[in-house]
Structure 1
Amino acid sequence: MNAYRHVKLFKNGRSQAVRIPREFELPGEDAIIRKDGDRLIIEPAPVLSLAAYLATLEPIDDDFGAIEDTPPDPVDF
């Protein structure tokens, strides 16, 4: 049996909003909303791994020039 609860809709600026009750709270700060017929489906946004996030970035075309590779300074323990 699916849990359900009656909620109120309200306006937030020019958007319609719904306050999500604690028992339906989603993790994180982002969510995905989609429409399926007359239904709205709200799901937690998938968390991207660092590698997946970096893959979404555009490459940097700047030339930073040569970087001097100097040996590290000695350290006394």
Structure 2
Amino acid sequence: MPMAQPHQTPAREVRLFRNNRSQAVRIPVEFELPGDRALISREGDRIIIEPVRQSTGLLALLATWQPLNEDFPTVEDKPAEPEDIF
């Protein structure tokens, strides 16, 4: 078993199983990831599984903004003047 880093949880042996046409592994609670989606990648013999970070898209950003309590100046809306473009 690999030597654990001081800030890491020690490695633990788990069993692999088949789920339809995919190989699967049950993740012990001490390794549980947040959410319901993950990214998986390979580095040599290592399989790396990491949580999908929720992106803060425009809608999430706008939801955090407070309404402005400002009076905006009245803008005179004049009709457009005809213009000769030829």
Q: Per the shorter chain, which TM-score range? A: 0.5 to 0.7
How many pairs are equivalent? 53
**Structure 2 unmatched runs, 5+:** 61-86
**Which secondary structure state, in structure 2, belongs to the residue aligned with residue 16 of structure 1?**
strand
Amino acid at match of 1:20: I
Structure 1 Cα separation of the partners of residues 53 and 28 of structure 2: 21
Q: Which runs of 4+ in 1 moved over 4 A?
A: none
Bigger radius of gyration among the two: 2
Aligned with 2:17 (options 1, 10, 20): 10
Residue pairs, 1:13-52, within 5 angstroms? 13-51=20-58
In structure 1, stretches of 5+ residues that fail to align are 54-77
Return the structure number with greater relative CO, CA threshold 8 A, min gap 6.
1
TM-score by length of 2: 0.56
Identity within the alignment, %: 53
Normalised TM-score (structure 1): 0.63
